[in-house]
A and B are shown apart, each in its own frame.
Chain A
């Protein structure tokens, strides 16, 4: 195999696929990237057996062929190369010679045959989603995915295809984020699937503002095709809990908040939330919220925010980090906070179909 390409193209290609390569792996081949030179492109594939990515970059291919090379090493070498033209030649023993300007590197690879192939999709159900919508959806929900490995069904994002709607749901048992995306698809494509965190992170990285992503759901696996890149992942087996149970049906008080102002206040006050209780208190009174935090033996913080609020006076406490996460992920100027009482969950909403349920913390009086 022999090809040459610009350093930028090569780096871009590697960057797309290299995050999947796990640093601690039992199979040496999994730390390698598969390079396949064909036509005017070189295809790159990486996998950790759960998630796999295939991308490509333009190159002038002199001799077609394939090999696998250590991904991280290749990436660091290419990044440091002095000249913008890079040529890579691989001999019959999978040793790659990398030439660029005055530099020469030789790195040893493994044969192509050892690389596990990405799964084939047969009888898959295909749905096309605008990239922008999916990207927004992931950003608004993925931070709430649970990291508690004992609840493995929660270690991923729920993609619920139902009634011409894709609902994305993430929860860790203390909070829940949900987004609806309007979508056209046949009734037979309705399904609930759980996409593992790693694939969600990778997908979030690959999605752009424009174009569409083709989603194929096979048995136990999912593929996303976008911008000449393919992301394949195993699905988490099991049933996602009935998240609707969590969402309060009727709320009593609504307050409209300026997202950024409120986020900044929260961030400031949370500096004095103790590590132990880690809570901040919101004290509602007519047209005003007092945000307070205190840590015994350290000190306290308080900030007042004028808001449009006409309900009864009451206090409610939240984990500041859990409150700030959705505020950071959203881009809207205004958010609505719906509350029932100090012991019931709060609900954060915006104008578009998004919902964030947040459990209050107990106020020790």
Chain B
């Protein structure tokens, strides 16, 4: 083995000699030994670190040129000093030599399992699995058990309060706990951007890069905030590649799929979609029940089943809100001991939350029915082609409300009103808005229907 290395070194020296002055060669390269050679990298042993510093600073170009001349393609150049520490040329690749690894883990050992920013409550045990989040949960668990083997990167997306952060932190904690010495980094993309800006400002990009590119598991929350930040994207792109090439796990979360993040470079989008993209959907009623019971159990809250039922059926969109409602009910119960918690009391207590919930669950059909009822016209008139004023105006109000209260597009609203054009809907909205400003009684009528719909 040594034989081949010294032959390689002779070949390399021959190519190097014309590149540097004889004095330089004698001074810096005569004491250098090639100790490891692969197709990707050469490791040279130097007597002490001044050789490494000086060669890196001054003779790297010559050395690389000589490598290309001698072997036809460039290699990474690494140095090892007599005391055995290996450092790479320029950018630190995340590959860590065994010795460094031990040192790293000895240092991290104290705080393993408690990566900053991880909430110990967010673990896999406390995550309630339902059909809405099965895939994301299974993927996260697989990633946590065998990082960088299964799905890399793992991209989790879903609406607010559906458990993205919970899953990511669970992965972080699982890895931190079960892989001693693994360097886990959890942060939101905002922190990444801010630190990047800071690094530019204080001119210590090298430190910044080193910090992130040494992670064994990088968890970045709310990656969508990277949209539109061009230089941060570029920096992240390189971090991503370095980690990925070094077989380190990357987990990302966002509130929408990668392709829908605005102003995100294509190369990043395609990389995000590389591994597994898992969606988190709002939980169904059974899952919501399970979440409530689990939460109540951990917080040692005792409530009647009807209350759980009530909360689970009425709060549909968001787990965080569900838990908030539970907390509110529980604290009310403990503060007003003895007073019975009826559904009415709970309804009153959660008025604002329920109203907010209802906002999302109003359908166009409900609006049409309600408006028709109020103006005493037939429901069929809502969709018919007839347009005397006593029918057309209620229809326009209904369109306006549909626009305000549902997420339906202009086209969808138009279709629901008997196949009308989106322009018609737009016109209706403008008209109603104007008349609301002009006439008090119309505004009152509409706000009455609005609140009736949201009850």
Contact = CB atoms under 8 A, between A and B. Distances in A.
A362 B21 CA distance: 11
Given A172-B57, A174-B58, A344 B50 contact: no
Nearest to B210: A150
Interface in B206-252: 206-207, 210
Contacts of A245: 27, 50-51, 54
Nearest to A250: B23
Contacts of B51: 245
Contact of A343 (B20, B56, B204): B20
A359 B27 CA distance: 14
A173 interface: yes
A243 interface: yes
Given A344-B21, A362-B61, A150 B54 contact: no
A242 interface: yes
B23 A173 contact: no
A150 B61 contact: no
Interface string B173-215: 0000000000000000000000000000001101100100000
Contacts of B53: 151, 154, 171, 173, 241
Contact of A148 (B50, B61, B206): B206
Contacts of B318: none
B92 interface: yes
Contacts of A362: 61-62
A343 B48 contact: no
Interface residues of B, number: 23
B57 A359 contact: yes
Interface string A129-173: 000000000000000000111110110000000000000000111
Interface string A340-360: 111110000000000000010
A248 interface: yes
Nearest to B209: A150
Contact of A173 (B21, B56, B62): B56
Interface string B22-50: 01100100000000000000000000111
A74 interface: no
Contacts of B48: 239, 241-242
Contacts of B61: 362
A329 interface: no
Contacts of A241: 48-50, 53
Contact of B206 (A149, A174, A343): A149
Contact of A150 (B21, B50, B62, B206): B206
Contact of B50 (A172, A246, A341, A359): A246
Given A172-B57, A359-B57, A153 B49 contact: yes
Given A173-B53, A173-B56, A241-B48, A149 B207 contact: yes
B248 to A, nearest CB: 20
B57 A341 contact: no
A344 to B, nearest CB: 5
Nearest to B92: A150
A320 B48 CA distance: 29
Contacts of B207: 149-150
Contacts of A171: 53
Contacts of A172: 57
Contacts of B206: 148-150
A55 B388 CA distance: 91
Given A150-B92, A242-B48, A359-B58, A344 B24 contact: yes
Interface residues of A, number: 25
Interface string B57-95: 110011000000000000000000000000100001000
A178 to B, nearest CB: 13
B405 to A, nearest CB: 48
Contacts of B27: 245, 248
Which secondary structure dominates chain B's binding surface? helix
Contacts of A246: 50, 54
A362 B24 CA distance: 13
Contacts of A359: 57-58
A314 to B, nearest CB: 12
Interface string B283-321: 000000000000000000000000000000000000000
Contacts of A147: 203
Nearest to B20: A343
Contacts of B58: 173-174, 359
B50 A243 contact: yes
B119 to A, nearest CB: 21
Nearest to B23: A344
Given A173-B54, A173-B56, A362-B61, A248 B49 contact: no
Contacts of B24: 343-344
A343 B59 CA distance: 10
Contact of B21 (A151, A174, A239, A343): A343
Nearest to B28: A245
A252 B22 CA distance: 14
A224 to B, nearest CB: 27
Interface string A216-259: 00000000000000000000000101110110100000000000
Given A150-B92, A173-B57, A344-B24, A242 B50 contact: yes
A259 to B, nearest CB: 25
A112 to B, nearest CB: 31
A242 B28 CA distance: 12
Name which of A172, A243, A248, A362 has the most chain B CB atoms within 10 A of its CB: A362
Nearest to B59: A359
Interface string A90-120: 0000000000000000000000000000000
A343 B210 CA distance: 32
Nearest to A252: B23
B204 A340 contact: no
A245 B51 CA distance: 8
A242 B50 CA distance: 6
Nearest to A175: B57
A147 B54 CA distance: 15
Name which of B49, B50, B62, B207 has the most chain A CB atoms within 10 A of its CB: B50
A248 B57 contact: no
Interface string B256-287: 00000000000000000000000000000000
Nearest to B50: A241
A340 B23 contact: yes
Nearest to A247: B27
B388 to A, nearest CB: 71
Contacts of B49: 153, 239, 241
Nearest to A147: B203
A246 B23 CA distance: 11
Contacts of A243: 50
Nearest to A342: B21
Nearest to A241: B50
A61 to B, nearest CB: 41
A241 B49 CA distance: 6
Given A148-B206, A239-B49, A241-B49, 4 more contacts: A150-B207, A173-B57, A239-B48, A245-B54
9 contacts: A147-B203, A149-B207, A154-B53, A241-B50, A241-B53, A245-B51, A248-B23, A340-B21, A343-B24
Interface of B: 20-21, 23-24, 27, 48-51, 53-54, 56-58, 61-62, 87, 92, 203-204, 206-207, 210
